[in-house]
Structure 1
Amino acid sequence: MKKFFPLLILIAMAMFTVQAQSVKSDQSEVSLISEVETIQPGTPFWVGLYFKLAPHWHIYWRNAGDAGFPPQIEWQLPEGFQAGDLEFPFPERIQYEDFINFGYEGEILFPIRITPPADWQGGNEVTLNADVNWLICKEVCIPEAAKLSLSLPVDAAGSRPNLERVSDFADARGRLPKESPEWQFAAARQDSLLVIRATPPQWYQENPGKILFFPYPDFLIHNQAEQLTRQKDGHFEVTVPLSRELDEDIERIEGILVSENGWRGENSERSLSINLPFGEALPETATAPFSFAELWRNLLFAFLGGMILNLMPCVLPVLSIKILSFVEHARESRRRSIQHGLMFTVGVLLSFLALAGALILLRAGGEQIGWGFQLQSPAFVVGLSVFIFLFGLNLFGVFEVGTSIMGVGQKTASQANFTGSFVSGVTATVVATPCTAPFMGAALGFALSQPPAAALAIFAFLGLGMAAPYLFLSAFPAMLKFIPKPGVWMETLKQFMGFLLMATVVWLASVLGLQTGVTGLLWLMGGLLVAGMGGWVFGRWGDFTKPTLTRRLGQIAAAVLILGSIWIGLQGTDATAAPVAESGQNTAGHGDWIPFSPEKVEEIVASGKPLF
């Protein structure tokens, strides 16, 4: 036992070598911690400012965003010791009401590099003291402060790691922004937008996912605006609106880019620092090299994506109703059924090719657009919302056009030209535009980096994939035997599918709300109300069972109401989202705002009232 006694003494001493205090409040606990248990003179080591925050409370990054300030530390160190800067891991976007802040929740460690003097003669232990100030916020913000200290033994033989904290420091350093000589970056101003281009190294075959830009200076970007990431010509571009308070003389862009998936693949560093010249145009780039192997692979992806697109909420009702029309026409000859399927396919293909052509022409004109580009137009969103809303009312049975909107031209379709099936294909493509599906992203990303012919081929295969189920059923009508015989269930299915279309309208309304704010959303709601009235008038007085005069008047009234509904919806498309209340407005939750003036400030201060 005696020979183990010195070992027990050493173990006991090791348990109490690092002495640190923590300061607690209802909102946070803060302390200084060390990556080492002992230090060696002349050998740098890491300490950390460690915060543990109560749920939903947050502190701030070096640029706090719309409000706040970052933690600040002032050291009192032994003679000869030097402290590096407080290192900030990459933050997250934190929204509170109309504000977007950059900061942290939960637990966060800010690493600091400490360098002791090589000729330290001050004893066997050193104490590091620091005064720390920070702002912590939830619904309210509370400035807090603490006096912290950390005592560490000195061992001339070498430093010893603090095994309990090594992984914490490794994680914190992994979240610090790095510089990458492999990725190339460029930044430019395009009207009121900041565009940052990230060019990956040749070996990179991953996708960084969504990329967020966090600027170092204040008033560089519009913090509340959504940041868009898109792939173009083998590059990745981040687009974010510039701040209205931007310094027009700014010459460089400094900050960090945070990748959702890592800059070298999964589990790699996610944050890169950038310091770029701020030009008026991005440098010219070469088009991605053409590869037949890549083309065939992406044609397959496009075909599969088109097939899966039929199962998306905005397209599934079209698929279901078209299959029901096959059931209704099952008595027709196989030849005639195939002709209907071919005409439907032609309608889908021509619509996709027209969409591709418009996209190619706009991109050639310098527009930064991709799949769903038309949804960037508030006017298109309004028109599509009204169309799909009426389609849903049709499925609910409010009115009938032939057998359904998918049956537009059905009377003609029974004749030789099959116009109804062609129009059905066009309609299917129109309602598909708000949706996307697996495999589509890779194929469309490839298409938009290739010559026009390859891009058109990708869109054509996307259309073929979407039309394939219809074409298959028209060629093999015997497969319809697995579908129950026509009956009441068909009407029930139609009405159920109407709810999917209404869900699509809700999503489109949210898109318009982001573009135009509450004003545009209210105009759209009014337009849909009038459109619903138009559908009801058509169903009540405009169908073919009514006398000729009544029918004509009903159809005219319905047309006027529906066109009027679009006009009403368009009245809100000139509005822009205004996420922050202007000075002088009275906004719920923010108190009573009054215009700022230096005279008013002096008056309030002179009265002895607190003023921030």
Structure 2
Amino acid sequence: MRSISHSDYLRYALIALVVLIMAAATPASAKLNRISATLVAEQSRPAAGDTLQLAIRMTPAPGWHGYWQNPGDSGMPPRVEWKLPDGITASPLQHPVPSAKTMAGFKSYVYDGSFALLTSIKLPASAPPGTTIPITGELSWLACSSDVCVPESTTIRTSVEINSGRETSARNPAFQSYRSALPTPYPYSGSFFSDDDNVTVTIKTPPGIASSAVRFFPITGQLSPTNVTQSGDTTTFHLRKRGRSVGKVEAVIDTGPGTKAYQIKALPAREAPVAAEAPSPAPVATSAPLPSPAAPEGDPEATESLDQLPSPEYANDVPDPNPFAMASLLPAKASETGWLAAFLGAILGGLLLNLMPCVFPILSLKALSLARSGTSRQAARIEAVAYTGGAVISTTALGAVLVGLQCLGAEIGWAFQLQNPYIVLALVALMTAIGANLLGLFEIRSFPLLNRITGGSAPSSAFGTGALAAFVATPCSGPFMGVALGAALFLPPLAALSVFTGLGLGIALPFLAIGFLPALRRFLPKPGDWMVTLRRVLAVPMLLTAAALIWVLSRQVGHQGLAMGLGISLAVGIGLAWLGITQKTAKSGFHPILSTAMVGALAFSLLPAPIAIASADVSESGPVQTFSEKRLDELRRAGTPVFVDFTADWCLTCKVNEKLAINDPSTQRVFERAGVVTLVGDWTNGDPAITEFLAKHGRNSIPYYLVYMPGERPQELPQILTAELLADAVQPIG
């Protein structure tokens, strides 16, 4: 009997991966969900113009639970994307009171039994009798047991028929119990004080709330009560704070399951309204959507017209620390100096890009290539030119696509390719392949055409390395680069392409200098056995890059993206290891290459569409909110200081800034004292509104940061942030 070879094992592993990828791609709705979900309407035959209440009934299987709107230390709340007829919108989901569950020291707010999420829609008054109104939504949630958590989703749908208006439509009696499970909005705002670790909230005591049995469920922030006291008609909550600063406190309180629950709100002590002679609380109908928080009382000038404040379009009037900034924003016909400044800025930006963290994995390939290039002067120069050609052609080609699509009306910007999950999946495969090559699992054969042009295999390798370095570096943006690339929006197409050519030249400049300056090559180590060890070590950052891209993919398309990313990475690794075995035995590599390509094609064909990205730290009313120009205008009208942060999950520069500056505790304390609201514009999957806003400010890349202080012109911040710089930016002038 023939023994099973290593190639056979790898072949069987690829077959198993095919099965796993297909299983991962199966729509969640086709699987047996641990929490069932159905959509029901309170009335099946409402009248035209009525406000119709809907309920999403969710029932966990025994031993499983779902999550509240604030899941606590872990979990994910239910989210729904409605697909409704034109002119009909759904109100925000209303959540019943949860229970607290502590596991392994982590507290979460959950539903162990059946629960209903309520929303309402306004039916069109012009709908004729007999019209059927379809109501559909894509619902996603996290189901957890004591051992495992499973992301689930399904399509919920129902329909109603418009009655004649002369008949009374029967109402579903279950909705009365659904509404009674909701907290009652408490009409009195409390106040709170906050320091680094603690928050103290004081409110007028709601009826029936006793400090000995009160339960506290925070809607905003990560807050946990340490003590509750009552004195007279006030109740004080002493809370432990974790994470970001809080701009206001919203919570649900009650005294146990089945008791009266209230939704309370507290503002910072300096903003809290005084209600010393307020009447006793009146009953509040819970069938309507929760009211929006009342605007804080203050100076009447806070509500003046936005026309009296500096407009966001004046952001570029602020002196920019970049000496090329103003010149680069000039139209090309205004002055040749504008084009030259943009071109030089792109070269300098590309040069500095070599120092950015996201380019470090590509520096590993450079190091090996530079060590090889020390063999002779001619070989070094040829390799340097080939590397430069690869980098320049890569950035110019990307620039040509970008400019061409913008000419056709597309709302895209620099690094647009990483907003496409298919390209991210391809980069996962590419980074895995490079890591496998550096580990010695297989060897890359040279490209015959490039070999004939350049006279050897080293130049073709350098050309590919240069192209790869430029392509992978595009998500990063450093000093000078953002403004220089933004000039492409104002320059004629050929002049704009020269800016992208300058970027590639800047990326390749260090390698080009070493290739043509023998004095610099003397600092390079001689080739030797050390290079084998270095190759193995430098495989680590390449594989870590692949892992980071898999994470980006999971953020773009959900848990199925995570499965696809892991699947294609494993497939590439197995297939190339199989290829390496055939190379050592002088056999044809056709079968491993074909098999790997087929698995990859399967993963690409099953990749789901991008999803909306939500962050647990982002809310609609807290200190960190989702960016929109409308919300920015509202905050400026109210005289609120605003910090605008344009970011993306694939932008490592953005993540470094968030870690070291934006989320630094000292920065958050300064923001809290100044009352700053952060608006986060997430560009991970692309957003035409964000692209348009960036274009208004002469930019088409991120990171991009703006600070709006009341009564002052907007400040445009550098692309590399520090905590001290942010603190200075939010200090009022004078």
Q: Higher RCO, 1 or 2 (CA under 8 Å, sep at least 6)?
A: 2
Larger radius of gyration: 1
